[in-house]
A and B are shown apart, each in its own frame.
Chain A
Amino acid sequence: MKITREGLRLILATLLVGLASLNTGNNLMYLILSVMLAVLFLSFIVTYINLRGIEVKVEQLGELYAGRPSKIKITLSNRKRFLSSHSLFLKIEDPVIISTYIRKLGPKEEKEVFEEVLPLRRGLFDLNKRVLLRTGFPFIFTEKTIMPELQAKLLIYPSLIDIEEELFSFEETGKGILNEEEFYKIREYRYGDDRRWIHWKATAKRGELMTKEYGTQETRKITIIFDNFRQGSEVRGQKSESMKKFMPQNLTSDIPYLTSDFERSVSFAASLAVKLIEMGMALRFVTCKKTIPFGIGKETLLKILDLLAVINLSDDFFCLIEEKDLEDPFVVILQSDSSPLSRFKDRAIKTYYAREI
């Protein structure tokens, strides 16, 4: 509970009137003193009770991307049976900035507020103890702020960048685009293949995992290999020409969610994944420790974005992918040439360096 400047003045005035009352023994002055004490007492008590029994829920309405305005639903509930709560300020400062005001919350009442927010950075944020609930009701003498407990998390995906040109053409890949609905052949199962397509009969015959491959002459599969190995990640370089053309013209370098090379590479990887999924490609995403197997559509995209939301630079390098697993086209996003993943760059359709993003 905080006593404001006006509250301090009132307390001082009360003390003076108290002294005067004791001195004169004048009961009318005691009456005035009683009124002042009552106002102070009421101020403390009501401010305290005003925040009791208030529950806060925060929910995402759809995906949140860093740097992109989105809506969040905040629900405030008053669990008090008989008393209302008035004049509540709810504030969140990180990872989104929210400041909302509720004038009145009746007993047992629930209010929903839809706030447009601009997430500042990606990540999975536990909102417990990040939400501030403040009130100064009923007067101007006291203020109380609490951090209500809430089971809520905000998952903020990396910021998306507009990638303006086609990444590769039919000729560049040297491979055809496969219509995935047509059965093509049975081959050995590779790490990252969809387990639903395992051909059990062939597996039983051969004694090793065999998988169906769908498509015609043309293959529409691609793998993104993302390097999040820490060593050499701080190296900066000039933007390459090939990178520049993929960047929007107005991109500035001081956007908070794009402050470091790594962050920019994460954003780029996310943007690339979005683009490829939109193009209808089957996408596989590989990092130092984790792999999202081939898949299409939003489900796969969300899995990739979930991974990219929380990915950090890693000191351990444990790459599950092998050369033999990379028969399909792939691109590599490297932090630097010293990364163990740089061995794939010669075979990659494209190699991107974080420092150039």
Chain B
Amino acid sequence: MPERYKFLTALTAIAGSLSLIATGEPNPVYYPFLFLMLYGYWRLLKGKPQGSRFIIGASSIGGLIIFLVDVFIITGDYLLSVAHLSFIFHAIKSFDIKEPYDPFQVYFMALLQLVVASEFTVAMLFGGIIILFIVLFIFVMNMAHYIKEKVEPSIPLKTVGFLIGVSVVISIVFFISLPRLKYGLWGKSHIKGIKNAGFSERMDLSSGDLKLDPTVVARVEVRPVPEGPLYWKGNVLDYFDGETWRNTLQDTKRSLRRVDDQFLIHDGLSEAKGTGPIVEQDVLLEPLESEIIFSLERPVSVITFLNKVEIDASGTLYIPRKGARRIHYKVKSEREKQSSEVGNQRSEIRGQMSESMEKFSLKSDLPFYLQIPEDIREPITRFTEELLRSEVAKGAADNPETKALAIEGYLKRNYIYSLNPGLPEKGFDPVTYFLFRSKKGYCEHFSSAMVLMLRSQGIPARIATGFLGGELNPLGNYVIIRQKDAHSWVEAWIDGRWERFDPTPPQIVQEKKPPLIVLYLDYMKMKWQRYVVNFSREDQFELLKGMSEAGYKLQAIGIRLKNWLKAEGLRLKAIALSHPRTLALKAIGLLLCFFAVLLLYRFIKRRSRKLSMPGFYYLRLRKVLEKRGYRITSSTTSGELLRIAITAGLNPDAVKEFIELYNQARFGGRPVDTDRLRRLLKASLEASK
């Protein structure tokens, strides 16, 4: 077995194992088998004897026992146990590579490892490992071909490189064309979801300090990118028990109506109705342990390949799916128009809610949004009334909107943002502790306080949770939303609509701009997620649509070209009739150009044919020697020419071979490599310089 073949086999085993390790799923207890595998392949490359049958057999049985214990007792996860078993297999096999066909088992096991790894991760690194696997696989299978044919294996790099390139292209074609189902037939995905406190169905104020987590939650392409802060709304929480906020309207979920490819939230929307501009969001959402999806405020429709989109009475959107999985969907939101009032962050919402939405909310659900825990109602009410009295005294209007603005402004000015507010003292609940004692907290404290204060004044209010802002990646023009962007704010029912208020003081954090390479990597990750990991049936339809549109465009171009030619023809005809001399001159000029090009072409062809004739080089040699003063006549034979050339100081070996090759071609009728002739001539002449 050739050394290269053994080496490639070892590399393949390592690549397969790496793909599993990169997922982070296999138990590190099995990693020693990898070191054993490396040792085994080292021994193989050094030509040391392979393991005895008895040891290999006993190890195999041991491995099987370990697998059974693993799958039935330890992990209970069949797939993970197979991953562990593959490490054991590779370790044993590395000591048992004897026959030329033994490496095939290694390749198939590495392939199995890739398949298992694909269930555990979707990282971009996996794509790199797949490419590495393609390269190794092609190299190895090509070499295996020569070994099977019992000839000396060689690696024709050009050919193998061509095969790899073509394999990649064909793989892409297959990847795009293979049919996708919406859901799997059996089983569930192994991908774990992100536990996102900012995006869960509850908000627990007693959890204490908050950590900033840079884990990416979503990547969103926004068109156009609106001005002002981006509030990505997810859930709405209405009920507070003193420590925790919950959404009690989840059970009111209903499916949205689908029209063409859109799930309509509002029954119809058009700018003619005087509504705001539409912002389109293309969302790649990481797997979350929740079915909630989010978007900019005022979503009007959702586009997704999945079967169902649901909405509850609070306006929270859901896409039901099996297990935590990465999903891709599009949302159209109606952007709120900004008010021109200075310092006023309030937005003026235009548009009408449809009757169906009205049915759901407020008139019947208002009591939900006025709920306050009894034990804190009185202190909060008193506090709020005092606050509002002073505002009214300052000349503020006594209406719900100004009340809300007053509360919002007060909290912003008088309370401190802190990620480490600490736990409430004994006898205090988190909100009253925040309001009356600590006066510091994070968004959840601020929003909870404002909602309760509004409710104490009979203004229905609720907490909206989601994300604020994000990081714009200029390379792909998309927003990266991370866990640390999680936020909560307030919605108050004023004048028949929900209006957004954000009492949390703005945090101007001087974050270092990430280096270009980081942005580029994230851009690549986004593309990988979007076009590989989340490639769907809808993408296939889009591609087909694009291709047929391209076809129509080409057709249109063809028709335009035809019409243009026709018009030009008529124009030229008119010129010919009115200015025959001009046209004749132009025609002659064109013909002359044509012949010039033809002559040039023939000259080039003749020259290249000359270059391919052995006689051409022989004549050159004669010319060179003539120029050096030697007498070369038409009767000088090739033998005489050889003697003269040697006398002239030309490289004797090169010129001898040159003359021999020339004679073979000239008199032997055998085809000769003219490149070789050219090189020999060059070598002959160089020696004499």
Which residues on B sit within 8 Å (CB–CB) of A136? 145, 148-149
In whole angstroms, how far apart are the Cα atoms of A20 and B156 in the complex? 35
Find out whether the CB atom of A37 lies under 8 angstroms from the CB atom of B174. Answer: yes
- Name the residue of chain B whose CB is nearest to the CB of A4: B148
Instruction: From B1-9, B134-142, B285-293, give the one contacting chain A.
Output: B134-142
Name A33's contact: one of B163, B170, B174 (CB within 8 Å).
B174
Is B517 part of the contact surface with A, judged by Cβ < 8 Å?
no
In whole angstroms, how far apart are the Cα atoms of A24 and B182 in the complex? 10
Query: Which residues 264-322 of A sit at the B interface, judged by CB distance below 8 A?
Result: none
In whole angstroms, how far apart are the Cα atoms of A138 and B149 in the complex? 11
Find out whether the CB atom of B175 lies under 8 angstroms from the CB atom of A34. Answer: yes
In whole angstroms, how far apart are the Cα atoms of A292 and B12 in the complex? 71
Find out whether the CB atom of A33 lies under 8 angstroms from the CB atom of B167. Answer: no
Is B111 part of the contact surface with A, judged by Cβ < 8 Å?
yes
Find out whether the CB atom of A29 lies under 8 angstroms from the CB atom of B145. Answer: no
Q: Give the distance to chain A from B281, nearest Cβ to Cβ, in Å.
A: 22
Q: Give the distance to chain A from B141, nearest Cβ to Cβ, in Å.
A: 4
Is A203 part of the contact surface with B, judged by Cβ < 8 Å?
no
* Contact (A28, B151) CB under 8 Å given A23-B186, A38-B171: no
Is A31 part of the contact surface with B, judged by Cβ < 8 Å?
yes
Which residues on B sit within 8 Å (CB–CB) of A245? none
Name A34's contact: one of B104, B133, B171 (CB within 8 Å).
B171
Name B182's contact: one of A25, A30, A46 (CB within 8 Å).
A25
Query: Which residues 68-117 of A sit at the B interface, judged by CB distance below 8 A?
Result: 84, 86-87, 89, 101, 103-104, 110
Find out whether the CB atom of B104 lies under 8 angstroms from the CB atom of A104. Answer: no
Is B181 part of the contact surface with A, judged by Cβ < 8 Å?
yes
Which residues on B sit within 8 Å (CB–CB) of A252? none
- Name the residue of chain A whose CB is nearest to the CB of B152: A103
Find out whether the CB atom of B149 lies under 8 angstroms from the CB atom of A87. Answer: yes
Instruction: From B112-120, B195-203, B597-605, B661-669, give the one contacting chain A.
Output: B112-120
Is B185 part of the contact surface with A, judged by Cβ < 8 Å?
yes
* Contact (A89, B149) CB under 8 Å given A24-B184, A24-B187: yes
Is A1 part of the contact surface with B, judged by Cβ < 8 Å?
no
Find out whether the CB atom of B119 lies under 8 angstroms from the CB atom of A42. Answer: no
Binary contact track A1-43/B, C-beta < 8 Å → 1, others 0: 0000010010001000100111111111111111111110110
Find out whether the CB atom of B532 lies under 8 angstroms from the CB atom of A28. Answer: yes
In whole angstroms, how far apart are the Cα atoms of A86 and B158 in the complex? 12
Q: Give the distance to chain A from B72, nearest Cβ to Cβ, in Å.
A: 22
Is A191 part of the contact surface with B, judged by Cβ < 8 Å?
no
How many residues on the A side are at the interface (Cβ–Cβ under 8 A)?
41
Is A214 part of the contact surface with B, judged by Cβ < 8 Å?
no
Binary contact track B48-92/A, C-beta < 8 Å → 1, others 0: 000000000000000000000000000000000000000000000
In whole angstroms, how far apart are the Cα atoms of A240 and B144 in the complex? 60
Find out whether the CB atom of B187 lies under 8 angstroms from the CB atom of A42. Answer: no
Which residues on A sit within 8 Å (CB–CB) of B134? 35
Find out whether the CB atom of B534 lies under 8 angstroms from the CB atom of A27. Answer: yes
Find out whether the CB atom of B144 lies under 8 angstroms from the CB atom of A140. Answer: yes
Is B35 part of the contact surface with A, judged by Cβ < 8 Å?
no
Is A226 part of the contact surface with B, judged by Cβ < 8 Å?
no
- Name the residue of chain B whose CB is nearest to the CB of A9: B108
Which residues on B sit within 8 Å (CB–CB) of A37? 170-171, 174
Name B148's contact: one of A27, A36, A84, A140 (CB within 8 Å).
A140
Find out whether the CB atom of A25 lies under 8 angstroms from the CB atom of B183. Answer: yes
Is B594 part of the contact surface with A, judged by Cβ < 8 Å?
no
* Contact (A42, B185) CB under 8 Å given A31-B171, A137-B145: no
Is B157 part of the contact surface with A, judged by Cβ < 8 Å?
no
Find out whether the CB atom of B115 lies under 8 angstroms from the CB atom of A32. Answer: yes
Is A48 part of the contact surface with B, judged by Cβ < 8 Å?
no
* Contact (A39, B532) CB under 8 Å given A29-B118, A33-B174, A34-B175: no
Find out whether the CB atom of B141 lies under 8 angstroms from the CB atom of A138. Answer: yes
Binary contact track B152-194/A, C-beta < 8 Å → 1, others 0: 0010100100010011101110110011111111110100000
In whole angstroms, how far apart are the Cα atoms of A32 and B138 in the complex? 14
Find out whether the CB atom of B178 lies under 8 angstroms from the CB atom of A34. Answer: yes
Is A139 part of the contact surface with B, judged by Cβ < 8 Å?
yes
- Name the residue of chain B whose CB is nearest to the CB of A18: B178
In whole angstroms, how far apart are the Cα atoms of A288 and B356 in the complex? 112
Query: Which residues 336-371 of B sit at the A interface, judged by CB distance below 8 A?
Result: none
Which residues on B sit within 8 Å (CB–CB) of A140? 141, 144-145, 148
Which residues on A sit within 8 Å (CB–CB) of B533? 27-28
In whole angstroms, how far apart are the Cα atoms of A6 and B137 in the complex? 14
In whole angstroms, how far apart are the Cα atoms of A20 and B535 in the complex? 17
Find out whether the CB atom of B145 lies under 8 angstroms from the CB atom of A139. Answer: yes
In whole angstroms, how far apart are the Cα atoms of A254 and B638 in the complex? 55
Which residues on B sit within 8 Å (CB–CB) of A101? 149, 151
Query: Which residues 647-674 of B sit at the A interface, judged by CB distance below 8 A?
Result: 671
- Name the residue of chain A whose CB is nearest to the CB of B133: A35
- Name the residue of chain B whose CB is nearest to the CB of A19: B185
Is B130 part of the contact surface with A, judged by Cβ < 8 Å?
yes
Q: Give the distance to chain A from B351, nearest Cβ to Cβ, in Å.
A: 37
* Contact (A27, B119) CB under 8 Å given A39-B167, A42-B170, A87-B145: no
* Contact (A28, B184) CB under 8 Å given A35-B130, A35-B134, A137-B145: no
Find out whether the CB atom of A32 lies under 8 angstroms from the CB atom of B111. Answer: yes
Name A25's contact: one of B142, B145, B148, B181 (CB within 8 Å).
B181
In whole angstroms, how far apart are the Cα atoms of A34 and B130 in the complex? 11
- Name the residue of chain A whose CB is nearest to the CB of B140: A139
- Name the residue of chain B whose CB is nearest to the CB of A104: B156
Which residues on A sit within 8 Å (CB–CB) of B187? 23-24
Is B122 part of the contact surface with A, judged by Cβ < 8 Å?
yes
Q: Give the distance to chain A from B144, nearest Cβ to Cβ, in Å.
A: 5
In whole angstroms, how far apart are the Cα atoms of A137 and B144 in the complex? 10
In whole angstroms, how far apart are the Cα atoms of A318 and B121 in the complex? 90
Is B498 part of the contact surface with A, judged by Cβ < 8 Å?
no
In whole angstroms, how far apart are the Cα atoms of A333 and B121 in the complex? 88
Which residues on B sit within 8 Å (CB–CB) of A141? 141
Which residues on B sit within 8 Å (CB–CB) of A13? 108, 111
Which residues on A sit within 8 Å (CB–CB) of B167? 35, 38-39, 42
In whole angstroms, how far apart are the Cα atoms of A17 and B113 in the complex? 12
* Contact (A84, B189) CB under 8 Å given A23-B184, A28-B532, A138-B142: no
Which residues on A sit within 8 Å (CB–CB) of B180? 25, 30
- Name the residue of chain A whose CB is nearest to the CB of B183: A25
Which residues on A sit within 8 Å (CB–CB) of B671? 110
In whole angstroms, how far apart are the Cα atoms of A86 and B122 in the complex? 39
Is B146 part of the contact surface with A, judged by Cβ < 8 Å?
yes
Is B415 part of the contact surface with A, judged by Cβ < 8 Å?
no
Q: Give the distance to chain B from A123, nearest Cβ to Cβ, in Å.
A: 31
- Name the residue of chain B whose CB is nearest to the CB of A136: B145
Query: Which residues 143-195 of A sit at the B interface, judged by CB distance below 8 A?
Result: none
In whole angstroms, how far apart are the Cα atoms of A36 and B163 in the complex? 14
Which residues on B sit within 8 Å (CB–CB) of A24? 119, 184, 187, 189
Is B126 part of the contact surface with A, judged by Cβ < 8 Å?
yes
Find out whether the CB atom of B148 lies under 8 angstroms from the CB atom of A28. Answer: no
Name A20's contact: one of B108, B115, B149, B179 (CB within 8 Å).
B115
In whole angstroms, how far apart are the Cα atoms of A21 and B156 in the complex? 34
In whole angstroms, how far apart are the Cα atoms of A84 and B158 in the complex? 11
Q: Give the distance to chain B from A324, nearest Cβ to Cβ, in Å.
A: 52
Which residues on A sit within 8 Å (CB–CB) of B104? 6, 9
Could you give 11 example pairs across A and B, Cβ below 8 Å?
A22-B185, A23-B185, A24-B187, A25-B180, A27-B122, A27-B535, A28-B121, A28-B122, A35-B171, A37-B171, A139-B141
- A binding-site residues for B, Cβ under 8 Å: 6, 9, 13, 17, 20-39, 41-42, 46, 84, 86-87, 89, 101, 103-104, 110, 136-141
- B binding-site residues for A, Cβ under 8 Å: 104, 108, 111, 114-115, 118-119, 121-122, 126-127, 130, 133-134, 137-138, 141-142, 144-146, 148-149, 151, 154, 156, 159, 163, 166-168, 170-172, 174-175, 178-187, 189, 532-535, 671
Beyond contacts A13-B108, A84-B159: 14 other A-B pairs, Cβ-Cβ < 8 A, are A9-B104, A13-B111, A23-B184, A23-B186, A26-B118, A29-B118, A31-B130, A31-B171, A38-B174, A86-B156, A136-B145, A139-B142, A140-B141, A140-B145
A-B pairs, 4 with minimum CB distance: A28-B118, A34-B174, A38-B170, A34-B175
